[in-house]
Every structure is written in C-alpha cells, then in structure tokens.
A and B are shown apart, each in its own frame.
Chain A
C-alpha cells in the first residue's frame, strides 16, 4: 500500500505541470493586448504602457515569465487583484472556507444518503421502495442546479419561511474567523454564553441547508443509482452464495461482503462527482449569495480580473487533482487488486 501511495503521488507532477501551463497561457491567449486591457479602454502614454508591461513581467522572454509564474505560485503569490487591489491569496483564503464548507457538506449529503438509499433499493428490488428511490433519483438527476435552487428557495424560504434566502449566517452575528467554518466558529465565539453560541450555530445550519441540498442533489442521485446497479450485480456473484452457504446473516452479507465489492465502481463515480461539485459550487454560490470562491471567480471573470482568474484555475485544479488522488487511494482500499501485485 505504501509504495502505491508514493507512486500515486508522483503521478500528480505531470498533471500539475499541465495545469500550470494552461493557467499561465490563459492571460497570453486572450484576444487583444493584456497590458492595454489592464490599463483601461482609453489607453495610456507609451511610458505608462512600458511601465505596466514591466510590472507584469511581460517584457521578459516567455520561459523566464513561466519560471517566475511557477516559482511565485509555489510561494502562493498570485499577484494583486486588479479590482480590489489586495493580494489574490488573501482574498482567496478569506473566501475559501465558505466554499469548502459547502462542498464538504454537499459531498457528505450525497454520499451518506446516496449509498444507503442505493443499497436499500437494491435489496428491495422491484418493490415500491426501489421504484420510488429510482423515480426520485431520476428526477433529482435531471434537475439543473439553478432551477432546483430556485424551487427550493420558493418552497422553503418564501412559502414555508423556515430557511433564509441567502448568505452564510444571519446579519446580527459577527463571528470572528478561527477555522473559517461557521459551524465550528460559532462555538468559538469568545465570551459568549451557550445559548448565544447555539443560536448562532442554528442560524448557520439553516443558511447551509438549502445550498447543500441544491448542490448535493445531482451527486446524490448519481451515487444512489450507481450503488443500486453495482450492488445488484454483486449480489448475484458466486461469493455471495458462498457467504450464504457459510450461514452468515443477511445484514452481514449485504453490508460487509457485498458492499465492499459494490463500492469499487461507486468510488470511481464519487471521484468524478467531487470534481463537478467545484463547478456546481460556482452556480450555487451565485444563486444563494454564498460568499465563497465561486461567486468571487464569477465576479472576476465578468470584470476581467486576470490574476484572480489565473489563481482560481490553478487552485481549483490542484484541489481536484488532490481529491482525485484521495479517491484513488480509497479505490485501492476497496479493491486489493489495485495495490497488490499478483
């Protein structure tokens, strides 16, 4: 297993190289002169132009520029945002926990509900349980995030009035950021009584609920369907008959013998889904005014804030690469053939 982990980590390097080339190339591929674009529509004096070009490092040979870009990126220096004039990394770290919180919760939501529901549908095959799970997941799967989010807001926020429409927490709270996760930080408010902490926590949970559902529904439906079909296949295998012949209980057969095998394709799907959660987060955050990097990236695209876009591409790609590596490691755990040579 150890050598597999090392091997898998080394495989990241070429991917990282590719990503850095794309992020670096982006600013040079936009039509028009990036320097002019940064100075503004009205143009500038040749001196100011040269000054800007030098500032951006665009007067040097392209390989030197790339080397500089990479060495800065490794030091987490992505330059300064054109719009806010603050270092990009600072803006990023202040927003990223919100996205991470949303992403993690949506993933948990999808995985922790999707897998059991899929198993349930499989072991209750061709009963009303199976039909309703499969029907619901088909609907969930076909629901575009922006539309589904609006329906959720209309029903839960406007009609029932039980959840807020937008934001991460009610206006009256000013939670000092410790971990960046509001679900944790609300418990760390200095000098607050338990009741106050609890109320702040509940407020953050209520704000998190709808975005989590909106973002997690498609992954949930995908995972449930995948788990069901994979489980059905595994339950027909010879080794399940062996497990029965051994006199094992039904729950043990399903949840241990069948599940570990059924998870092999499901883990692969989860890897793909976690990548799509990052893109889904951009839509969800815009819809729910969630102050994460998704919303920030959309703003930077519309205002052509190139340093931010570059950093966004680089960081989200690295995140997806990293998540995929974790998924591969999980895959090796469920499938011993991956890590052991025969």
Chain B
C-alpha cells in the first residue's frame, strides 16, 4: 500500500467518509474496577457510494460499533476510546468520539442516519407518521417550513421510499402499518436530513422474506441515487452477497476478517467466516448431495467469560496449542483482505 508518490491530503478528493481506528468500548460491572471489553480495537473504513457490511452472530458487537459511531452507546457503557474520523458535508474532518454532545447531535440525521432492527418498535406509537416525518424534515432544514411545505416534502419522502398513496399514510399511526411499511417510513425519516452515511442495523431481520428483498433493493437504489455510504449490519450472508462491496466479519468484539465481498465470500481465510458460510443453506441441497448443512458448535462467549488466546478457538475446527495461548493479529493476506488467524497463511 506504500504509494511511491503520495498526493497531499488537501487535494485528494476521495478521502473516506468514515474512518474508524482502534475503537474499543467497555462496560462497567457492579464490581468496582472490573470492566468488560465489548469492542476491541475495531477498525473500518466507509467510502461514498460504498456498502460496508458488518457480519457476525448476536453479541459480536456489530450494533455497538454502529451505536458508538452515532454516540448512542448504552448508558451503562464507558466512554468509547479510539478515533472515528468523519468527513462532513462541508468537507470538514471531525473526530466523532471527542465531539461534544451538542455538536454530535447536529450530525445525527443530517450527516449520519440510522435505521434499526425492529421497525414496529422503532416508531413512536403515540404520534402519526406525519408528525414523526415532518419533525425530522424540519429538524434538518435550515429554514422554518410552513405546514403545507412540510406536508409536501413528507409526501415526496414517502413516495421516494415506495409507499403507495403517501398522502393517506401520513395520518396513520405506526400500529396501523405493516412491518415493511414501517421500515420504509423509518428509511424516509432517516433520509430526511439527506445524510452522507446510512447505518442500517439488521434492517430486514424482523421482516418477511419477500419484504426483506424489497427493502434491500430500496436501500440499494437509494444509496446509488444519493451516493451515500451504507453500513449494513447483518447476520445473513445471503444479504452480504447481495449488497456488500466490503465485508467486516466480527466475532466477540473484534474484526476477525475483512476484505472485499468477493474475497471474503469466495476465499474466506478465517475459520469463523468459513463456518458461517458453511452454515448457509443452499437451495440445491438434497439428501444425496455431498454437503451437509453445518452449524457452528457452541455459542459466542459471554463478555465476562472471554477465552484466552484467539477468541474463536473454543469453537474452531483448526485450533492448535498456539491458538489457546497467543492473540492473533489482523494480518494482511492481499491488498485489502485481512484475517485474524494464526493459520491464515496456510490453506484452511
């Protein structure tokens, strides 16, 4: 990666939108002085128009990473450490973790927006779609908009996320909407501030399979037309194959493998990634087929009971004595493909 003739930073137009380095996050416990490390030196980069997936089982720290970017970590968490550099719309580079809450709030929704796993509980049940959408539009508008202006913009926003008869939907309360419809409203709200990055935290997990595909297509289209960076958090490798440009596989608070979608999906170099891929059912699978659907034995270790050495070794098929004792580093395999495994060099 050593550029022979590096351009000066000011003139490079293609700086990443978001650069996370060494992001760590711990939780305080009831025991004094004992902290549990939920994120360990997470690093990832998001460029404009790029879809970056974060993959892993529940409890791996995928959502925490995204909440740390937003400055919305749970109240019982300690302040995250590391750096999160972000390129704002007016081309300023800001470090999000050290930004005061007041400044950070201005970025939320306007620069970085987020949608969540369960759209049915993520919309406020006591207010209409119109209230919640117009509120977002007004918050991110520099001028005071009239009621009719807000309404027009709201209808346009609902139309843009593919909601039929948007004018009628405005009066609806969230409990009158289906899950897919709610997620579309959530997307409309998230995009009201025209953000540069959209974080989608398992946006389709709570939805029917057919609706999932619709929502993913919608996200893809919106991303392309708006040149947004998209951070897609998922545990579904099918979604990754469909959407990702770049993939980060997380396990127990660490990134264990990262690389382009093609590299990670077709040439997985970490046993965990491989195991995830093997536990993906394929339509062609039959009884006589050579491959059985596998599952990964065991569960993600609890925060308070993280194993020694490589975090994955208790569940790993390839573990050796070195895995129990030493901590593997994220080692580069090729240009942007890296894996955290002692056996990375050898063939898995």
Whether the pair A260, B135 counts as a contact (CB closer than 8 A) is no
Residue of B nearest to A257 (CB): B124
Chain A residue with Cβ nearest B186: A242
Q: Does B116 lie within 8 Å of A242, measured CB to CB?
A: yes
List chain B residues, Cβ under 8 A from A264.
126
Distance of A246 Cα from B126 Cα, bound (Å)? 17
Contacts of B192 in A (CB 8 A): 246
CA distance A310 to B15 in the complex (A): 84
List chain A residues, Cβ under 8 A from B229. none
Q: Let me know if B175 and A237 touch, CB within 8 A.
A: no
Q: Do A248 and B126 contact each other (CB < 8 Å), given the known contacts A237-B121, A241-B116?
A: no
Cβ B118 vs Cβ A334 within 8 A: no
Q: Assess whether B89 is interfacial by the CB under 8 Å rule.
A: no
Q: Chain B residue with minimal CB distance to A243?
A: B124
Chain B nearest CB from A178 CB (Å) reads: 41
Q: With A and B bound together, what is the CA distance between A220 and B229 in angstroms?
A: 51
Q: Assuming A244-B72, A245-B109, is B124 touching A261 (CB within 8 A)?
A: yes
Chain B residues within an 8 Å CB radius of A239: 121-125
Q: Which label, helix, strand, loop or mixed, suits the secondary structure of the A interface? A: helix
Min distance, Cβ B169 to any Cβ of chain A, angstroms: 14
Task: Looking at the assembled complex, report how far the CB atom of B188 sits from the nearest CB atom of chain A, in whole angstroms.
Answer: 12
User: Chain A residues near B186 (CB, 8 Å)?
Assistant: 242
Residue of A nearest to B140 (CB): A247
The CA-CA distance from A139 to B30 in the complex, in Å, is 29
- A247-B109 in contact (CB<8A): yes
* Chain A residues bordering chain B, tally (CB within 8 A): 22
A-contact bits for B117-153, CB 8 A (1 contact / 0 none): 0100111111110000001100110000000000000
With known contacts A247-B105, A248-B139, A249-B105, A242–B176 Cβ distance under 8 A: no
* Residues of chain A within 8 A of B126, CB atoms compared: 260-261, 264, 334-336
Interface residues of B in 130-187 (CB under 8 A from A): 135-136, 139-140, 173, 175-176, 186
Q: Which of A242, A244, A247, A264 has the most CB of B within 10 A?
A: A247
Asked if A179 lies at the interface with its beta carbon under 8 angstroms from chain B, I say no
Nearest-Cβ distance from residue A8 to partner chain B, whole angstroms: 19
Task: List residues of chain B with CB under 8 Å of any chain A CB.
Answer: 70, 72, 105-110, 113-114, 116, 118, 121-128, 135-136, 139-140, 173, 175-176, 186, 189-190, 192-193
29 contacts between A and B (CB under 8 A): A238-B121, A239-B123, A239-B124, A243-B124, A244-B72, A245-B70, A245-B190, A246-B109, A246-B136, A246-B139, A246-B189, A246-B192, A246-B193, A247-B106, A247-B108, A247-B109, A247-B110, A247-B139, A247-B140, A248-B135, A257-B127, A260-B127, A261-B124, A261-B126, A264-B126, A335-B126, A336-B126, A336-B173, A337-B173
Known A246-B139, A336-B128; further 4 A-B contacts with Cβ < 8 A: A239-B125, A245-B108, A247-B108, A336-B175
